[in-house]
Amino acid sequence: MRAGYNILFVIFFWLSAPYYIWKMWRRGNWRAGLGERFGRYTPEFKAALAGGPVLWLHAVSVGETGVALQLLAELEPRLPGWRFAVSTTTSTGMGELQRRLPARILRFYYPANLAGVIRRAFAAIQPRALILVESELWPNLLWQAQDRGTPVFLVNARVSDRSFGGYRRFGFLFRPLFARFRGVGCQSPGEAERLAQLGFPAAALRVTGNLKFDAAKPEERSGPDVPRLLGQIGVNNKDRLLVAGSTHAGEEAVLADMLPRLRGRFPDLFLILVPRHFERAGAVEQELAARGVSYVRRSGITPETRLATGQVQCLLVDSTGELKFFYEQAALVFVGKSLTARGGQNPIEPAALAKPMVFGPNMQNFASVAQSFVAGQGAIQVQTAAELEQALAELLADSALRARLGERARQVFQNNLGATRRTVEMIMETGRGAF
C-alpha cells in the first residue's frame, strides 16, 4: 500500500510543483528554507538538537503557531532537559515563529510529504515524540513515526466535512495510521465522535476544548503604534474604524463597494483592510482604485508622512503579524474568508478584545467556535453582501449595541479558556513512558 501511495503522490507532486513554486515566488523570499523543505539541515541545526530528547511540534500556519507557543510555555517546565523544535508550512507561520519563539527553540520549514524527504527529516531531528496541531495528517510522516516507534499526538483536533468524507473513502489507508495515535485532544464532543468513526482509538481521545481561545489571550507584545500611524494619515482618534481582518479575494471589493454608502451616513467611518496574504496588496489596490476609494498602504507610511483629515478613506495593511494591533483600535470587525471564500478566519482574537464582529456564512474551519459566538449573542452572522452592509450600518448607528455585542463575545471567550492546561495533561497522561 505504501509503494502504491508513494508512486501516485510523486506523480501528483511533480505535476503540481509548478503551481506551488509560482505561489511561493509570488509571496517572495521563496528560497528561504527551501533546503529544509527537502529534509536538508545545516550542521548548526543538528548540533542544536544534540544533548537531550527532542519534541517535534508541527504548526501549519499563523493560527496554529499561536497554539504551539501556548503549548511550549506549558510543556517546557514539565520536560527539563528536552530540546524543542517547531515546524511550519507557510512563510507567514515562519515569520510568526521568528518573532515570538525564544532562540533556544528551533524553528524550521515542514518537509515535503515524500518518503525520502521525511526519512531524512526524522534522521536529522530524531524526535522522541511528535505533536501535530489540528489536521496535518500526512501518511509518510505517520508511517515514519510508526517505523521508529515515535509516539504521535494530535492536539486541537478537528476534521472538516470534506476531509471527513475523504478519510472515510480511503479508510483502508488512514484507519491503520489513525489507530496508532497515542493521544488526541479534541475541540468538542462532536469532533471526538467524528474522529472515533475514522479509527482513532477511543482510549486516546479527550475533549480538551479549543486551544485558540488560550492563544488569543491578551498579552504584552511589542507592535506598531497604531494610533500614531492613523494620526499620520489624518484619522481622528474619535473616528469609527471598521477593521476587515484576514480578507480573501472578492471581500475587499464588496467592502469597497459599500464604503461610500456607509460613509454617506457615517462620515467618520474609516476602513482598514488586512488581507490574509499580504502579497495580494497589489490586486486589492486595483479593486480600491476601480471604485474610487482613496487609500494608503501600510508600507507607504514613513515617519515623515503627514496626510490631511479626509485625504484617504482606507488603510491597506500590507504587512504580517500586525492584525491584533489594528483589532485593538476597531469600533467593529469583519472576519474575512467568510463571505466570498470558504473556511473562515479566526473570530476568537476580536472576541478576546471585546470587539463587536460580523462574519459571513462560510466559517467551516471554525464552525463550533462561530456557533458559540452566535448562540451567545457575541457575533452577527450574515449570508450575503447586502446583509453585511445592513448589519454594519446597524452597528455603526448604535454604540450601545456594539458594546453589548463585544462584551458578550468576551464572555464566550472567557468561558472557553483552559484548553492548554487540559491538553498538556492529556499529553502527559497518554504519553507515559515517552516523557
- Catalytic amino acids? 64
Q: Which residues, including other chains, have CB under 8 Å from residue 217's CB and lie 6 or more apart?
A: 352, 417
Helix pair 115-125, 139-148: axis angle to 10 deg: 50
Grid cell digits, residue 323: 492584525
Residue 245, strand partner residues: 274, 335
Q: 210: closest CA among 23, 419, 411, 378?
A: 419
Q: Which residue has the cell 498579552?
A: 219
What is the spatial distance between Cα 164 and Cα 147, in angstroms, rounded to a whole number?
26
What is the spatial distance between Cα 310 and Cα 143, in angstroms, rounded to a whole number?
59
Q: Where are the beta strands (DSSP E) in 141-258?
A: 152-157, 183-186, 205-207, 240-247
How far is CA 174 from each of CA 66, 122, 149, rounded to the nearest angstrom? Answer: 28, 21, 18
What is the spatial distance between Cα 290 and Cα 8, in angstroms, rounded to a whole number?
45
Contacts 24+ apart (CB under 8 A), 277-286: 277/27, 277/92, 278/317, 278/318, 278/319, 278/320, 279/26, 279/27, 279/28, 280/249, 281/316, 281/318, 283/249, 284/252, 284/316, 285/316
- Which helix (H) or strand (E) covers residue 348, if one does? helix 348-352
What is the spatial distance between Cα 322 and Cα 365, in angstroms, rounded to a whole number?
22
Q: Which residue has the cell 510522516?
A: 141
